[in-house]
């Protein structure tokens, strides 16, 4: 089945935009700079490439336009005539023909100029030939401005056409304007066509879809047709005529017997007689609409005779209907669908393909085995049940229909448990895992919690005895002093583990060392533990306390120089030797504290020399450092933290590109 989808046609750009697209793409996709060192052969190839690329781009764009638009000779006659009515077939073909001619001319232009560029002797001559080629191509595109604009309008209108399948099951509604065609379509389909109390509300073909007998149907609402010659009908009316002529559908001719549409019954019957040739070989329904305003039996006798005569001469089926009260709406739809199905089957039977199918079909007819007459056999159990008035056994489907239907009823899966258990009430237990006539609930001990508690106490007592036995086994070969030491060690280990776990679980930060309180005795013990003499610690602490007391008495603070001078007296001796030793110690401590601030830099080793065992180790580390810096030096980096971004292209590689300005410079 061919499905026509005109919404996939790509947009046709105007001539000016077409030129911009072609030239911009050529500028972006081809090289733009020629260096003075290029040979003439390379210059020729440079400009030949630009001309060829422009020609290829035009070829792609114009071929896309020609291929997207439908060819009238290849599509269904319904769409071919519809395009002829809406857009004029000659104009349509002429526009596509001009585009095809432009494509061939562009190919010839490019071929000629590429041949001339091939023999260009200077850069200037090759460039001028390229400019001339591109200029002629752009001029040719501008000359086709009207064709491109016309095809764009056709594309917009084609994309708005309804998706009508000419080969599927179709109901076609026709008649005078304002006789109830759109109202009927809204009743039987999911479409929402505009309905107004004036003529020609529907100006185009509208399509709706419905389901009947598990099949998908399309209903086409046509514009109203007036009673005048074919050559005098306008574009709106000709759309309905085209649909009647080409679509194999069930035709519903609507007639307003109340004459509220503004046309008399005589005019409507005259239109029916004029378009009767379009109904040939199609199921036809003659629908007398708006019987809620004028019942059919209240019509004058001569009007009824005219209607019945028209129906009988056309082999149509007459229905009376009302969209407002929905009388006979479903009957009209069902009859039209059934007639179309029968007509399609009969058409296929009359066709040439049936003979090819029949010789592959075989109809099997049963043959009697013997001449014995066999009566219906009913089991005796069923007969006895009927005699005793017992109801037959219900099937699961019958039970389902009686108890809410599918999705509501849930069958009882424990019916076949009957007879398997000692008590049939056990079938509906929550846990029906059956074993030896019992389920799991039958094995539950009511005293299980008490027994579990007793068992846990026994296990705890057994574990305690096992630990004591194990401890006795470990220390059995030790004397009493060793056993006492071992117990103390184990107790201390348990205390340390518990303190560590408590400290680990505390959600607090550790206290810095300078805020921790340290006593003099503890400090001396820590020094003695590492083997340092702490006999002078008390004397130094006393002198420090004395200095702090004097300073507080005088009400001033000592500067760093005074503190350094007084630190000289920390030794036991009072001689010059002790004085000199004290100064050297003070200077060493001062230099170590202030080395990073710039004081006594001559006494501190350079950073490049500190931390090495000997000169060989220093030389090896310097060699490794220089090797690691080699990559950064190649990238002109000052160091690891250098993030300076240098331009990746030289200036001559950035020149010659178009900016964001106007395109009029071409």
Residue 153 has pLDDT above 80, yes or no: yes
Alpha helices in 69-168 (DSSP H): 77-87, 89-117, 123-143, 145-159
CATH number at 6-157: 1.20.120.1190
Does residue 591 surpass a pLDDT of 50? no
Q: What is the mean pLDDT of the chain?
A: 78
* Prediction pTM value: 0.48
Pair of tokens at residue 144: 């086709």
The predicted pLDDT at position 657 comes to 57
Question: CA 181, CA 222: separation in Å to the nearest integer?
Answer: 8
Kindly state the percentage of the chain with pLDDT values over 90. 17
> What number of H helices and E strands is found in the chain?
22, 6
What does the H/E/C string look like for 31-55? Answer: CCCCCCCCCHHHHHHHHHHHHHHHH
> How high is the pLDDT of residue 513?
61
**552-574 per-position pLDDT tens digit:** 445 444 554 454 444 444 444 44
Strand (E) or helix (H) holding 66: helix 40-68
pLDDT in tens, 610-633: 777 788 888 998 899 888 888 888
Return all residues near 1 (Cβ < 8 A) that are at least 6 apart: 165, 167, 168
**How would residue 132 be classed by pLDDT, with cut points 50, 70 and 90?**
very high
* Integer Cα distance of 656 and 31 in angstroms: 10
Structure tokens that stand for 430 in this block: 């929550």
The residue with greater pLDDT, 666 or 376, is 376
Question: CA-CA distances (angstroms) from residue 399 to 23, 344, 394?
Answer: 78, 43, 7
For residue 605, name the pLDDT band (cuts at 50, 70, 90).
low
More confidently predicted of 166 and 354:
166
Task: Give the mean model confidence (pLDDT) for residues 642-649.
Answer: 72
Torsion sign, CA atoms 528, 532, 533, 538: negative
Closest CA to 666 of 138, 298, 256, 120: 138
Q: Which residue ranges make up each domain of the chain?
A: 6-157, 163-348, 417-453
Determine the pLDDT at residue 39.
92
What's the mean pLDDT in 28-33?
91
**Residue-level pLDDT at 347:** 78
Query: What local confidence, expressed as pLDDT, does residue 146 receive?
Result: 93
Q: Are strands 215-221 and 250-256 parallel, antiparallel or unpaired?
A: unpaired
* Integer-rounded Cα radius of gyration of the chain: 54
In tens, the pLDDT along 268-320 reads 888 888 888 888 888 888 888 888 888 888 888 888 888 888 888 888 888 88
Q: Which residues of 425-446 are buried (b: 16+ CB within 10 A; e: fewer)?
A: ebbebeeeebeeeebeeeeeee
- Model pLDDT, residue 543: 61
The SS3 assignment for 207 reads strand
- Category of 276 on φ-ψ map: left (φ > 0), alpha (ψ -120 to 50) or beta: alpha
Higher-confidence residue of 476 and 358: namely 358
Q: What is the pLDDT of residues 49-72, one digit of tens each?
A: 999 999 999 999 999 999 989 888
491-500, 539-548, 579-588: the lowest-pLDDT one? 579-588
Q: What is the pLDDT of residues 183-197, one digit of tens each?
A: 888 888 887 776 776
Given this chain, do its domains 6-157 and 163-348 carry the same CATH topology? no
| pLDDT band of 20, cuts 50, 70, 90 | very high
Q: Say if residue 505's pLDDT is above 80.
A: no
Inter-residue contact 54 to 22 (CB < 8 Å) = yes
CA 346 – CA 454 distance, rounded (Å): 91
3-class DSSP state of 219: strand
Over residues 480-501, the mean pLDDT reads 87
What tokens appear for 101 in the block?
């001619």
On the question of pLDDT at 478 being above 60, the answer is yes
Q: Tell me the pLDDT band of 539, cut-offs 50, 70 and 90.
A: low
Q: Are 162 and 79 in contact (CB under 8 A)?
A: no
Domain 163-348: give its CATH architecture: 3-Layer(aba) Sandwich (3.40)
- The tens digit of pLDDT for each residue in 356-404 reads 777 777 888 888 888 888 888 888 888 888 788 776 678 888 888 888 8
Q: Is it the case that residue 230 has pLDDT exceeding 60?
A: yes
Bridge partners (DSSP) listed for residue 173: 221, 252
- Tally the residues of the chain: 666
The burial of 229, by beta-carbon neighbours within 10 Å (0-12 exposed, 13-18 middle, 19 or more buried), is given as exposed
Please indicate whether residue 22 or residue 438 has the higher confidence score (pLDDT). 22
CB contact at 8 A, 146 and 99: no
């Amino acid at each position: 089945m061919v499905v026509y989808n005109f919404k996939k046609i790509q947009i046709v750009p105007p001539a000016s935009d077409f030129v911009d697209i072609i030239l911009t793409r050529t500028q972006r996709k081809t090289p733009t700079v020629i260096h003075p060192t290029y040979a003439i052969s390379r210059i020729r190839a440079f400009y030949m490439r630009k001309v060829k690329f422009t020609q290829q781009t035009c070829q792609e764009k114009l071929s896309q336009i020609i291929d997207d638009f439908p060819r009238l000779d290849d599509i269904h006659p319904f769409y071919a005539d519809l395009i002829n009515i809406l857009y004029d077939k000659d104009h349509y073909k002429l526009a596509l023909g001009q585009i095809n001619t432009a494509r061939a001319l562009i190919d010839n232009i490019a071929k000629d100029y590429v041949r001339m560029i091939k023999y260009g002797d200077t850069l200037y001559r090759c460039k001028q030939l390229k400019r001339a080629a591109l200029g002629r191509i752009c001029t040719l595109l501008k000359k086709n401005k009207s064709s491109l604009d016309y095809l764009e309008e056709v594309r917009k209108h084609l994309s708005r056409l309804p998706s009508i399948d000419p080969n599927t099951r179709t109901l076609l509604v026709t008649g005078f304007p304002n006789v109830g065609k759109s109202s009927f379509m809204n009743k039987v389909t999911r479409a929402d066509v505009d309905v107004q109390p004036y003529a020609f509300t529907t100006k185009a073909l509208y399509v709706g879809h419905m389901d009947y007998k598990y099949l998908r149907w399309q209903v086409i609402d046509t514009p109203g047709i007036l009673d005048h010659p074919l050559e005098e009908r306008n574009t709106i009316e000709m759309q309905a005529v085209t649909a009647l002529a080409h679509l194999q559908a069930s035709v519903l001719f609507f007639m307003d017997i109340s004459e509220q549409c503004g046309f008399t019954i005589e005019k409507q019957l005259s239109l029916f007689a004029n378009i009767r040739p379009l109904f040939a070989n199609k199921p036809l329904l003659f629908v007398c609409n708006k019987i809620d305003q004028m019942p059919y039996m209240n019509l004058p006798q001569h009007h009824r005779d005219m209607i019945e005569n028209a129906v009988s001469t056309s082999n149509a089926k007459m229905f009376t209907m009302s969209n407002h009260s929905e009388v006979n709406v479903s009957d009209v739809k069902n009859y039209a669908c059934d007639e179309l199905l029968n007509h399609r089957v009969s058409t296929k039977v009359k066709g040439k393909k049936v003979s090819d199918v029949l010789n592959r079909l075989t109809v099997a007819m049963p043959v009697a085995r013997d001449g014995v007459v066999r009566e219906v056999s009913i089991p005796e159990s069923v007969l006895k049940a009927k005699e005793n008035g017992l109801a037959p056994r219900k099937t699961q489907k019958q039970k389902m229909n009686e108890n809410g239907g599918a999705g509501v009823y849930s069958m009882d899966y424990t019916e076949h448990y009957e007879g398997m258990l000692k008590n049939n009430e056990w079938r509906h237990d929550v846990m029906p895992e059956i074993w030896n006539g019992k389920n799991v609930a039958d094995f539950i001990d009511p005293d299980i919690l008490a027994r579990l508690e007793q068992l846990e106490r026994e296990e705890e007592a057994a574990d305690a005895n096992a630990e004591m036995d194990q401890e006795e086994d470990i220390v059995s070969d030790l004397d009493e002093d060793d056993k006492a030491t071992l117990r103390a060690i184990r107790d201390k280990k348990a205390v340390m583990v518990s303190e560590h776990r408590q400290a680990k679980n505390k959600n607090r930060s550790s206290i810095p060392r300078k805020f921790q309180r340290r006593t003099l005795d503890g400090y001396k013990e820590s020094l003695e533990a590492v083997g340092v003499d702490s006999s002078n610690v008390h004397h130094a602490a006393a002198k420090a306390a004395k200095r702090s007391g004097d300073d507080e008495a005088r009400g001033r603070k000592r500067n760093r120089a005074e503190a350094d001078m007084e630190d000289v007296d920390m030794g036991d001796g009072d001689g010059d030797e002790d004085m000199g030793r004290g100064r050297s110690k003070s200077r060493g401590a001062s230099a170590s504290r202030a080395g990073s601030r710039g004081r006594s830099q001559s006494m501190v080793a350079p950073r490049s020399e500190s931390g090495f065992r000997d000169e060989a180790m220093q030389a090896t580390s310097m060699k490794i450092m220089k090797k690691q810096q080699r990559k950064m030096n190649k990238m002109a980096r000052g160091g690891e933290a250098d993030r300076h971004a240098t331009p990746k292209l030289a200036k001559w590689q950035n020149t010659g590109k178009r900016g964001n300005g106007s395109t009029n410079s071409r």
